[in-house]
Structures are given as structure tokens and as C-alpha cells.
Structure 1
Amino acid sequence: MPPLKISKKHHKHFNNPFPSPPKSLPLIHGTLSHNNTLPCRRVYPIGEDFRLLWSSDNGGYLSVSHSSHPDRSLWSTIPGQAFISAAAVKSEAEESRGSFAMKDGDIKSICRSQTIDEIDTVFSSEIDEARVINHLPIDLLRGLNFPVLVIHGGVSSKKSSFNARFWMLFHQKNSHQIEFQVKLGVLKQEPCASLEGFHSQQWKKSDRHRRRPCFLSCFSGRKDFLGLSSDDEREEEEKVGGSEEVSRVFLTYSSEKDEKIFGFGEQFSHMEFKGRRVPILVQEQGIGRGDQPITFAANLISYSVAIVERRVEAGGQRRGRREAAGKWRKTQAKGSKGSCGQVEKDPGGAGSTQGKQRDWHGGHPWSATIRRILNGCSPVELIERYTETIGRPPVLPNWIITGAIIGMQGGTKYVRNIWSQLKDHDVPVSAFWLQDWVGRRKTILGSQLWWNWEVDTTHYAGWRELVDDLRINNIRVMAYCNPCVVPVTKEKPNKNKDLFEEAKRLDILVKDNNGSIYMIPNTAFNVGMLDLTHPNASSWFKKILHDMVDCGVSGWMADFGEGLPLDANIFSGEDPMIAHNRYPELWARVNREFVEEWKFNGRGKERGDDEESLVFFMRAGFRESPKWVMLFWEGDQMVSWQQNDGIKSSVTGLLSGGLSGFAFNHSDIGGYCGIDFPLINYRRSEELLMRWMELNAFNTIYRTHEGNKPESNCQFYSNRKTFSHFSRFAKVYKAWKFYRVQLIKEASENGLPIARHLFLHYPDDGHIHSLTYQQFLVGTEILVVPVLDKGKKKVKAYFPMGRENCSWQHLWTGKLFRGSLGNSEKMRRGMEAWVEAPIGYPAIFVKAGSPVGKQFMKNLQDFGIL
């Protein structure tokens, strides 16, 4: 297969919430056969706590269970259907400023037929002298926990001579988690071979003196990315002749009809994914994402005209995992390969088995995909066990969760003016986040930032005095940076450094395939991107962060991380398709390591208290980002009421991210992205801003943003009404700080998010499974039902009861709402009710009799809110 072809032209589907199904490659339905020497039914141990059942019934299937519940399947394949398939396909990626669209071209072969030749347990003693076991090099078994359960066989195409050998390796990681890997070798073409022919052959297992069936094919592949599509067959397009690389591998397993699928990282359009196709690729989240008319307009012109100040955004998803409701089980993808998941809807009527299919791009010979299966008794327990693996955030310092973070720009005089008004309105303030601390530059798009990370003392005259004055009043200063640098021209006469030239001399910028610096378009200017696989890049950028902190900065937005080009040439030499998903983790690691080094080795150690701790927040991430990132934010929502990219999507992203291990998250108050087209415009209204203030008073962080078009947007400082409302809900935010501190500590210890989908604590309530943005829990004691529609003054709230038989008390009136008891003790049902929610009085409830609720209301009374 030729390398992945990269195109820089705009793709018209970038801004949709899910890419259109490619027409070239179908959802794979394959057949399964097995060697007649396999037993009809046998249970194989996987370590001490898990077991795998092989049964030849109905064509054959596998089922994994835990010893604590041997009759409950955690993961199983579909009887008679292939669970591993492969294909050789030419692929193309269309790319535009951090947005990617993958499509498939010529199909060389689709290997739909799978055979299982052998299931065997390998012990550590057996590899001491052996060089090959089941034709699998011993080196590929090293590092695994023995004993290892090996399933060996092959996949092939009935209409071509392509075939490949596979190995599926299971081993136990701990008492509640197993890992399995699918490995494929080098692809071969055997024109005269067939699956039936392979079964008639015998081979000798090296150093074990047993004769086993042989499967004579292997696998190699480019690191490509697949979009799955419909069920139409394309076998007639397969071609015979020549060696080819396998670029697609598919893992198909069963899904019960009533199973619900949650997770897949931070998602903005959906909470539950049964029947949906979900790519797992780090990229921009999108403008509009299907909301109209903005998506139509963005698709028309977003490649040639910069819609937003900083970048053109495109539909995409970030950060991935999966969780199944009802069985309390979880599968987790490891590694950084791009992949795609699709869950079939019921194809065969009531009671039939449905399928989930995961595809990942191929690799070099002996490449593997790694998955884990977790056992748990509840969604909460699953998240605890999942985050035990991927990592959890540290406890946030007290200063950042005490009051509002004021996001603004404009220079020293303007900041002092707003600060004075904040004091007049008695607003509790934690920090000023000054995005334009680096100064502003004039471009064809207007005013933009200088990506040369040093304070501009012309724009912020008296910077040090400003920082010191704020600090005396317990207010911090926060800044902005990203992993890119821009050539500094004569337009910036007051520069002290030229970071682009420094990085160029050190040779630590991403290269193109010609070995030149890869200049990446970013609206009106091009930038160089740090090659974070280079050992010198991290230490160089840490010096920049050190200088930033030395000038008085206590925290910063570490922006971007999703835009590493798929055709980049990087220092590590790894495939950029893999490095692309790893890049935000590397970017987070640089920032986190600096925070820890500063704390223990620098001024932080000298000062020695929590109040001096630094904080950074990010939007891009991947599987292990929670291990490194201190705080997330949700990127750039539209300044609209819409579902896929407006205020509603901010709740969906908050809750889906929480299910995926991103415990501390928040959105910009009021949204970010405004649009001014001749016939279409999106401007932040007063009502939207006020409702977003009410919503974000129950986020981890209460932070404003002026948006990409400050002059077109309503701001918290626009008038007396907005200022008063902002002050009111900054105090609401402060009133539950005592509980926030408790939840933050809990998150750092067990991974549970601050804002939670009700599914976490009420999994047996089927009504809750259908909720997306309508309502959420803060911890377990506060229920938030935000107003997310223009002009609405009441909301429909659903009150879960669960097994504790609790009532919910309305914050403003004290009225109690209580669910009803179902037909069994196990199934307690909640109730729905319409609740008044005029502006200033959103529908907030606390558990009746809860100490948290009592303290929250007392604090509100002390602040004069209740």
C-alpha cells in the first residue's frame, strides 16, 4: 500500500458532528470457522481471576467472565461471526488547520473469513529456550504477565488469495482488569491457498513437540484511519495479484439489544452511542457541528475565509473510552493509534445479538492493538478502576476555586477599570486571565495575538505593578500559550526574544517531508510547531514557562495540541498518525512537569504553601491526558442555544468527558465563537450570557471569555444588569466551595468527576439513560436542571430516587420532590415535574436533609442570595 495521502483542501463535511459514512469500505460481516481439533466447549483461565469460554455452538464464540460472577459475560463475540477481520485499502486524509477527514479509495482485498486454529496457554517456563511459539516471536510475549492465553488462527478472502495470520493474547493485569492484544504479522499472498487448505496442513510448534494446524499468512500495514459505513458488500472490487499491506483491522464483538454505550471521550453531540459511528482521533471540535444554518455556511466558506479569530474549526472528537450500561463492564483502548467504533442497531428483530465493531489503522509487521476489559459492580466502580490505570488529576489549589476568573483583554488601563467595577459590584474574584499578555498584532483579520511567549510591556505598561496590586488583594494573574511559535517581524519593535529563531537554531520544530520547518497555516499567519518528541524541546519550553511565572503569572491556558499534521516528519521517527494522538499528552506532560519542578525545586518550594501552586488548563487530550492535565476546558462553543455546538453541547461535553476520566472540566461562560456574515450572524445575547452564568456556577471553574468578537458580544461588564447577575452567581459558585473542595479531593483519589451524569449513581433507572444535556449532578448532593433554551422560564426536571429513597428540595422555595417506588425493591423510579426557573432562579435542588444541602443554603443566606 502507498503511504497515506494527505490533502490540504477543505472537506465539506468537516463541520458535521459525525463524518458522513464513506462509500468505499463497508461494515465488515465475516464468517468464523475453527479447527476440528478444538474442544466443543472449554473454559480457559486468564490469570487467577478471569476466564475465557470457548464454545463451538452456533458456529463458535468466545466469552470472557470474572470469577466473582462466572455466569456474567464481560465481553463476547457473536456466534458464527468473525471477530477479527482485515482489509488492504488505499486511504486519503483531508486536513485543514487541525481538522481531518479520512476517506478510502481503491480496495485491494477484504479478509472476511476467520479461522481459529488453536487456543492455548503459554507459561513463562516455556519461553526460556524457545524462539517461536505458534509462529509468534518470543520477544512479542515478553513484558506480558504469564500465563498468557493465546488464540491463534488466520483471516482470508474467499475471492482473492490474500490471507493473514493473527494472534490474540490475553493476560491479567490485576484482580479486576485483563488486557488483550491482537497481533498480525507480515502479509503474504498465496494464490493457491484457501482456508480449507490451511486446515489440512500441519506444523510443529518449536521446542514443544506438538503438531498443530498451520495458517500461512501475515500482516503489515500503514498507520491509517478508517471510517466505517453501511452494510453493502464490495467483494467484487477486490483485486488479485501482487503483495499488499493490510491497512485495516477490525475487532467485532457482541452487544445486547438493550445495552447502552457511553464514553468515547469528550463528545459534544451525543451521550449514548448505540448505532453510531465514532472516530477516535484528536482534532478540532467543529463550527456548528450540524446545527443550522451555521454548519451550511461554514462548509461553504470555512476553508478560504477564516471564520474565527484564531482558527477554522472542524467537526471531530477527542479522548476515547467506552462504557456499557446495564452490565457494568468496560472496554478500554490503549495506545495512540487512530480508530473508529460502530455499534450496529438491531438487524434481526427482538432478541437478536447485535455487534460492536472497532477498527484501527494497521502498522508495521508485528504491530498490535491493545484493549483492556474491566470488571466492576457499578459505573462508579468502573470509573475508579479505569482512572486507576490512565491516571487522575492532582488536587487543585485553593485560589483557583474560590471565585470568578475574569477573562479579558485590552491592556493595563482597561484591566484596572474592570477591576474597579468588580469591586463595586462585590464580585469574588480569583484571577484575571489576560490572553493578550503577549501583545496584539494587526492582520488582515483584525487584531490577533503575538505567539512569541513574553510579556508585552508596551501593551501592558506597568505590568509588574499591576501583578503586585492584584496579588495584594489575593487575585492572581493567568496567561496564555501554545506549542507553536511565529516568526517575529519588524512590526513588533519591543520584543526581547525571537522564540521562532531560537527554536529554529535548536532544530526542535516539526519538519515536513523535505526536511524543512513545517509552517502550519493558522488563519492570517503561519507558525512553527514544537516537535515534542525531540529531547531538547521540552526543556526549552520549560524555560519559557519559567520566565512567564517569574514575571508574575500563576496559571495559564495551554492551548491547542490537536493539530500535528498527519504527514509531519518528527524527531522520533514514529508514524505521525500515531504521534498525532500522542501529541496532546506530550504537550500536557511538558506543562505538568514544569509545575511539579517549580513546586519542589524552585520558588514554589521556598514559599511552601498551597496558595503558591501553579495551574494550567487544556482543551486537547487523549487516553492518558488525565494523568498530566490539571484542569480541562471544553474548547470553543458557539455563542448560541444550539444542541451540537452551543450552550447545550457544553453540558454534553462536560458529562461525556466526566465518564471518560476527565474529572475537572468547564466551558467559557457565554461561549466563544461568534459569526458575522451578511445574512447569518451569531452574537452573544444578554439572555444567553446570563443563563450560561447560571450553568457555569456549577462547573469546577467559573471563568469568563470575551469571545472571538468581543465588540459584538454581550459581556458581564456590558451593563448594570449583567454585572449584577455575574456577581450573584459568582457568589452562588463560592457558596458551594466547601463541597467543591471535597469533590476535588475525591476526584484526585478515585477519578470521579465533579459534574456527573445521573447514570453514574442511578444506573437502574432506564429513563436516565436517555438524558444528555437536560440535567446533571454535582457530586451526589446537588441536582442542576439548567435553562438552555431562549425565552424559557420553566424546565422539566426528573427526580431520581434510587435505593436511598430520598427527596429533592428546591433551592429557592424549599418545595420537596420525590420519586415513586417501582414494582420491586430494586427498581425505584423517579418522577418528572415542571419547575419555574426565571432568570436568576435556575432549577437547583439539594437532597433533602443533606448536610451539604444545609451548608450550601446557609452560605447563600450569608451572601444575601437566599
Structure 2
Amino acid sequence: MKLEQTETGFTLSLNGRTILDHSDASPAIFVGYGQERMDMYRGNFDIEDYVIERRALSHTEIDGNRVSLSDASGQSPRLILTLVESAIKFEATDPKLNRLWVRIKADDDEHVWGGGEQMSYFDMRGRRFPLWTSEPGVGRDPTSEMTFKANVKDKAGGDYYTTNYPQPTYVSSALYALHVDTTAYSVFDFRQKSFHEIEVWAIPERIELFAAPTFVELVETLSSRFGRQPPLPDWVYNGAIIGLKDGANSFPRLDIMRQAGVEVSALWCEDWVGLRQTSFGSRLFWDWQANETRYPKLRDKIAELRESGIRFLGYVNPYLCIDGPLFEIADKAGYFATDGLGKTALVDFGEFDCGVVDFTNEAAVEWFAEEIIGKNMLDYGLSGWMADFGEYLPIDVHLSNGVDAKLMHNAWPTLWAEVNAKAVASRNKTGDALFFMRAGFTGVQKHCPLLWGGDQSVDFSRHDGLVTVMCGALSSGLLGNAYHHSDIGGYTSLFGNVRTPELLMRWAEMAAFTPVMRSHEGNRPRENVQLDQDPEVLSHFARMTRIYRHLAPYLKSLSVEAVERGLPVQRPLFLHHQDDRQTYTIQDSFLYGADVLVAPVWQAAQEDRTVYLPHGERWVHVWTCESFAGGAEIQIAAPLGKPAVFYRAGCTNETLFAALREI
């Protein structure tokens, strides 16, 4: 970085590119203070800010690598910037400041990606993105009937920017990346042509900058900064993880699927802890130990599955229901977050109350990692689980570390991931046990071995359906999350919205080209078609699992790249074709590694796909062997069972890919 004084301010450049250009006539840095209103209802938030002061710091004094900013000449500085390597450190000398706005120079034709896991828009340019972990919401489109009904019923509608996993990091098409080191509520505003505005509801510790000559090297750098996942477990490559929550009946149903030719790596029964019935549907009993009434002799069943090469997975989250036996143990030990009166804080999770395990209390961390995940899960025989609900920390609880819960809320998913990783490491099962999370924030990459896309609607909708999973994989993958997957067929079924056989089959086609195939029965299993209820669906799914297993040697090589270089398995087209700017806004197709291009059908009743093939290569259509020159958009047939998939002519694994047409 280079700092240069100007007549009335300064410029800051990175590898010759101007990042900040601050002057009294055109300020780039503003400070102030405000009073926010944050209302939380079951993981959904209604947030607004009343800005009391926003003031440009027009007067600048520079001393070496230190910049003092004040309102005017002769006044004491209110903010001090210090350049340390490739970071800008911030120090507020005015204690009342709790708002910062920074304007980053932008090009008219610049593209930006990242922001954590963004589900609606991969290229963030032209929109404003609040960064706050929450329930994404149902439908995620305020103009839709689905979102309207969800808002009326439960304040649960969401919008294009709501996400389980925000992160104040973006990657620019100008080959640099910017990260804000804060856990506070923040906003990335990319609506202006000449600048990007960063808003933080605190004075952040620093802003970090990264630059590289290629997108690949930039992603490698970011993955090194935030942490890299271990390799995928060897057992994953054997086939799909089958999600069933049917008690003891789950085992014969699994047998039927296997007899139909489904390749299986694991059985995932999130109801291993038992169920309770609510108006939302069947909910799990949030007390994290085996319910052997619902699953008789479960430990023996797990051992039998293991002998046949199939693992068993479960479910856990960082809350304990008040009517379960573990609640009393944690309550007596003081492991829960408290309310304003110093009593255990209780949270309504939809017709049942829970305590919040306080992961800023080291004793609570040790207890949860050892007693619950270690003994009740890993020692019991589980090889993995969904680690759910990291985004739910209430903002009005009191924590052991004394930090305001509003500042801990975004950090909570990372703490939750660390607890899970700690338990796995304690049993020497890192790289073998597989837990997956939907919530995330800065640093979750270091601890969480697998993301999942959250609770999509069981439909083809633009903002909450199948297509959003690809966007989530691409945005999070740029920031060091190498492995991403989703609930095949979606999860949320409300207001009469139910999945169709077509949706289930199209989702499976996409999932065959992702790191992990995993099915889910959804929140209303009896109202939605399941894999084993329709012969056509089951036959189609079995074939997709055979495709997934056939590609295992290639996926293993991508897992090695993830470990050694931090490259994601699912990649935006521009990652390997940065000179082709046509690829910069594509979010409904992806590269599977560097050699395979996948363009899933994501709309109902579609039998073909329009696909852009990057220039500089010849691309071979998997099902017909027809080759196409890159640099053009083509229309290709994509009937059920034959999604639009291409491979690079002459690539190392050409024989492996060509053999797909025989499956």
C-alpha cells in the first residue's frame, strides 16, 4: 500500500490502484453515532437506524504511516488511521462514535462478489447488502405471495440480502479483495458508480486489503487468511447421504432405496433425538441424546450400517429445550446466557422454550464439546451431523465475556463451529466426522468442514428455490469455503407449497455435481413427495448417485486442491476465465473444478438450457459428444436425466467424463 498526501487530504493505493481518495471537497471517510432498533422474532430481524450525526472528517494530518482526521483545522482528531502492512487500523479518540462510513473508489464497469453466502445476487454491484446473520426468510421476495403470507403469519418473509452467513468481505473484478475486521452490523452499498460505501455500526478494528494478479491467486490468499477445510471424508465418495426422519422405519426404507440401485454413503436421521409436533410441522426434540423409544437399539443399528459401509448422521444445535433432561444439568452449572435479572434467558423457538448455551463461557464450551458432541454423539457412533441454528443468538441476552450480544451475534456461528470442531478433534476424527452448517461469519472456514445452503422453499422460485443454491455456493466459495451442498428437493413447505417430482429430480441433477449429495424430507414430509414414493423419481435419483460416485476420482482431486490451495469445488466461470468478462455475471451455472461446466435446469417445465461457454476452449457436451467453441451462448437440450453438462476438450480426465454417457 502507498499513502500520499494531497493538497487537502490523502490518497491510499494498493498495487497502483487507488482505494481511498479523501479530500475536503470529496470526503471518503465519515464518522458519527446513531441509535439502532433491532427486533428479533424467531431468528428474523426488523432493523432500523436513527443517525444522530454523520460528519465528514475534512481535516487531515499525516505523520508517516499515520493519518489523523478531525472536523476542522485546530480541532482534536476524532479518528486515527494507521497503515500496517496491507491493513488500515482504526482508532476512535471520541468515545461516543459508533458509526463509520468509508467510500472505496470504484470503476464504472467493476463487478463485486462475496458478502458471505449470498443467495439472490452473485454480482453485488448495484445493490445494498446489510451483513447480519439471521433466518433468510420464506420466499425472500417481498413482492411474492409466499413472502407476504410468511410476514403476516410469523414476520418470516426475508428479502434478497437476508442470509444465514454474511461476511464483510468482497472480491472485486479489479483483482483486489477487501475485508472489514468487525463483528458489528455492517452494510456493503454498491449502488454508486464511482465508489462503494462501507457502513459499520462500530469503529472496526481494521480494514484488510488483498491483491493478486489472478482470481485464482486471490482466492488462495483469502482462503489462507480465513482458514481451510480438511479433506472430504473417504466415506462420502460412496454415494448420497439419505435423509430420513421416520424413526425405526427409516432403516427398511433405506434398504428399499439401496435395492433400487441408490448408491449410499450414509443415513442421516435428524430425528434421532425424537420429535415434537408443532403448527410448523414435525420438530425435533432439542435434547441431544439418542431417543431409543423412537429408534430402538440404535447403537446396534449404527454398527450394522457401519459394517455394510454406511455411516450414520444426526443433528444438534446450541440450544436445550426446557422440558429435556440436559436443560437442568446446564442450568445448575450456569452454562446458559442470562437475562437482565441474571436468570437463565429463555428463547421461544416456536411453541417451545430453550436455554442458550453460552459459548463465551469456557466451561460451557468444554461441557458441550465433551459431554454432548463427544460422548452422546461421536462415542455413540455418529459420523456426522447437521450443526444447526448458529444464527439465533438473541441480542438482549447477557454473556459470560461481558461483550454486548449485538456485537457477539455475528460472531456466534464461528464460535458454534469451533465447538463442533473441538469435539471432533478430541476424538481424532478431523477429516472423518462430517458436520455441516448453514450459519457462518468470518473465520467459520477454519472450523466448519461443510456448508449447506439452508432452508430453501420446495420450488423453482427465483429468490428461494433451486437456483439460489448455486449462487450461495459461488459467493461463499470465493471466501474460502471449499465445500457446499443443499437439501435435495428443498426444505420449507408452507401455505400449500409442496415439492413436485420434477423439482426433486432437477435438484438431484445439480447435486450430483457438488461435493456432497444429501436428501431431505423437508419440514412436512407427509405432504411432499419423497424419493422412495415415486418409481420414476427413485430410478432417476439412483442414476444421479451413480454419476456422483463415478466422478469420485475427480472430486477427490478437487478435495486435494481445496486442502492445498483453498480452491472451492464449485467455481464461478470467471475464476478460470478472467479475460472473458461475459462470465462475470453468470450465477446459474458453475465450474465443477476447472474442467466441467454444469448448467442445471432451475425453472419448471423446461427441457433445454441456454448456456454460455467461456472462450478459449472447446467444450464437449457429455451426453452427445458434440463439441462447441467457447465464447458464445448456445441452446442445448436438457431433458430430465440429462442436465446441461460439458467438459473441456483435451483435459486430463476426459476419459472419465466421456464415460458418463454410459451410466
Task: Give runs of aligned pairs for residues 545-624 of structure 1, distance below 5 A.
Answer: 545-547=373-375, 548-599=377-428, 613-624=432-443
| Counterpart-to-counterpart distance in 2, 1:368 and 1:473 | 52
Task: Give runs of aligned pairs for residues 433-472 of structure 1, distance below 5 A.
Answer: 433-443=268-278, 445=280, 447-472=282-307
2:657 is aligned with 1:838: no
Q: In 1, are the aligned partners of 2:164 and 2:439 still within 8 Å (CA)?
A: no
Q: In 2, are the aligned partners of 1:661 and 1:752 still within 8 Å (CA)?
A: yes
2:154 is aligned with 1:302: yes
Task: Give runs of aligned pairs for residues 199-598 of structure 1, distance below 5 A.
Answer: 219-220=94-95, 245-290=96-141, 292-303=144-155, 315-316=162-163, 318-346=165-193, 354-362=194-202, 368-412=204-248, 414-443=249-278, 445=280, 447-488=282-323, 498-542=325-369, 543-547=371-375, 548-598=377-427
Match of 2:608 in 1: 794
TM-score (norm 1): 0.74
Q: In 2, are the aligned partners of 1:556 and 1:615 still within 8 Å (CA)?
A: yes
Residue type at the aligned position of 2:145: P
Match of 1:97 among 42, 60, 84: 42
Please list every run of 5 or more consecutive structure 2 residues that lacks an aligned counterpart in the other structure: none
Q: Residue deviations 1:574-613, cap 9 Å, x none? A: 12121111111111011101111101xxxx69xxxx7xx2
Aligned residues: 659
Residue 53 of structure 1 deviates from its aligned partner by: 2.7
| Counterpart-to-counterpart distance in 2, 1:645 and 1:770 | 19
Q: In 1, are the aligned partners of 2:337 and 2:357 still within 8 Å (CA)?
A: yes
2:508 is aligned with 1:693: yes
Residue 368 of structure 1 deviates from its aligned partner by: 4.0
Q: Among all aligned residue pairs of Structure 1 and Structure 2, give the percentage whose two residues are the same amino acid.
A: 32
| Counterpart-to-counterpart distance in 2, 1:294 and 1:791 | 21
> Structure 2 vs 1, CA of residues 421 and 629 (structure 1 numbering), >3 Å: closer, same or farther?
same
Residue type at the aligned position of 1:77: D
Match of 2:476 among 615, 634, 657: 657
Residue 724 of structure 1 deviates from its aligned partner by: 0.2
- Three-state SS of the structure 1 residue aligned to 2:272 is coil
| Counterpart-to-counterpart distance in 1, 2:76 and 2:580 | 47
| Counterpart-to-counterpart distance in 2, 1:471 and 1:287 | 37
Task: Give runs of aligned pairs for residues 646-685 of structure 1, distance below 5 A.
Answer: 646-676=465-495, 681-685=496-500
| Counterpart-to-counterpart distance in 2, 1:264 and 1:452 | 33
Match of 2:2 in 1: 51
Residue type at the aligned position of 1:541: F
Residue 61 of structure 1 deviates from its aligned partner by: 4.0
> Structure 2 vs 1, CA of residues 508 and 668 (structure 1 numbering), >3 Å: closer, same or farther?
same
Structure having the higher Rg: 1
Residue type at the aligned position of 1:331: L
2:70 is aligned with 1:119: no
Residue 162 of structure 1 deviates from its aligned partner by: 11
> Structure 2 vs 1, CA of residues 312 and 811 (structure 1 numbering), >3 Å: closer, same or farther?
closer
Q: In 2, are the aligned partners of 1:86 and 1:155 still within 8 Å (CA)?
A: no
| Counterpart-to-counterpart distance in 2, 1:419 and 1:629 | 28
Please list every run of 5 or more consecutive structure 1 residues that lacks an aligned counterpart in the other structure: 1-49, 67-71, 122-148, 173-177, 186-218, 221-244, 347-353, 490-497, 820-829
- Three-state SS of the structure 2 residue aligned to 1:553 is coil
Match of 1:755 among 567, 570, 573: 570
Residue 247 of structure 1 deviates from its aligned partner by: 2.7
Residue type at the aligned position of 1:335: T
Q: Residue deviations 1:137-194, cap 9 Å, x none? A: xxxxxxxxxxxx11112137x9xx998611001111xxxxx11112111xxxxxxxxx
Residue type at the aligned position of 1:62: T
Q: Residue deviations 1:619-657, cap 9 Å, x none? A: 111010000101111110001101111111111111111
Q: In 2, are the aligned partners of 1:278 and 1:342 still within 8 Å (CA)?
A: yes
Q: Residue deviations 1:714-739, cap 9 Å, x none? A: 11111211110010000111111111
2:448 is aligned with 1:629: yes
Task: Give runs of aligned pairs for residues 757-772 of structure 1, distance below 5 A.
Answer: 757-772=572-587
Q: In 2, are the aligned partners of 1:280 and 1:317 still within 8 Å (CA)?
A: no
Q: Residue deviations 1:316-356, cap 9 Å, x none? A: 4523244444420111122322211112333xxxxxxx111
Q: In 1, are the aligned partners of 2:119 and 2:160 still within 8 Å (CA)?
A: no
> Structure 2 vs 1, CA of residues 361 and 163 (structure 1 numbering), >3 Å: closer, same or farther?
farther
> Structure 2 vs 1, CA of residues 248 and 335 (structure 1 numbering), >3 Å: closer, same or farther?
closer
Residue type at the aligned position of 2:466: I
Residue 702 of structure 1 deviates from its aligned partner by: 0.2
> Structure 2 vs 1, CA of residues 569 and 658 (structure 1 numbering), >3 Å: closer, same or farther?
same
TM-score (norm 2): 0.95
Residue 419 of structure 1 deviates from its aligned partner by: 2.0
> Structure 2 vs 1, CA of residues 631 and 700 (structure 1 numbering), >3 Å: closer, same or farther?
same
Residue type at the aligned position of 1:713: N
| Counterpart-to-counterpart distance in 2, 1:273 and 1:61 | 28
Residue 260 of structure 1 deviates from its aligned partner by: 0.9
Greater displacement, 702-711 / 316-325: 316-325
Q: In 2, are the aligned partners of 1:284 and 1:314 still within 8 Å (CA)?
A: no
Residue 708 of structure 1 deviates from its aligned partner by: 0.5
Q: In 2, are the aligned partners of 1:755 and 1:779 still within 8 Å (CA)?
A: yes
Q: Structure 1: which 4+ aligned runs deviate by more than 6 Å?
A: 311-314
Q: In 1, are the aligned partners of 2:103 and 2:198 still within 8 Å (CA)?
A: yes
- Three-state SS of the structure 1 residue aligned to 2:383 is strand
Residue 856 of structure 1 deviates from its aligned partner by: 2.8
Greater displacement, 93-102 / 517-526: 93-102
Match of 1:33 in 2: none
Residue type at the aligned position of 1:407: G
Match of 2:84 among 147, 167, 171: 171
| Counterpart-to-counterpart distance in 1, 2:164 and 2:197 | 18
Q: Residue deviations 1:401-440, cap 9 Å, x none? A: 321000011112x122212212211211000000000112
RMSD: 2.2
Q: Residue deviations 1:661-705, cap 9 Å, x none? A: 2111111000000113xxxx2100010110000011111100000
- Three-state SS of the structure 2 residue aligned to 1:621 is coil
Match of 1:349 in 2: none
| Counterpart-to-counterpart distance in 2, 1:264 and 1:515 | 36
Residue type at the aligned position of 1:856: F
Q: In 1, are the aligned partners of 2:117 and 2:165 still within 8 Å (CA)?
A: yes
2:102 is aligned with 1:181: no
> Structure 2 vs 1, CA of residues 74 and 713 (structure 1 numbering), >3 Å: closer, same or farther?
farther
Q: Residue deviations 1:753-785, cap 9 Å, x none? A: 100111211122121122122x11001000001
Residue 617 of structure 1 deviates from its aligned partner by: 0.9
- Three-state SS of the structure 2 residue aligned to 1:702 is coil
Q: In 2, are the aligned partners of 1:685 and 1:714 still within 8 Å (CA)?
A: yes
Greater displacement, 440-449 / 848-857: 440-449
Residue 256 of structure 1 deviates from its aligned partner by: 1.2
Q: Residue deviations 1:19-56, cap 9 Å, x none? A: xxxxxxxxxxxxxxxxxxxxxxxxxxxxxxx3223333
Q: In 2, are the aligned partners of 1:287 and 1:313 still within 8 Å (CA)?
A: no
Residue type at the aligned position of 1:723: L
Q: In 1, are the aligned partners of 2:414 and 2:447 still within 8 Å (CA)?
A: yes
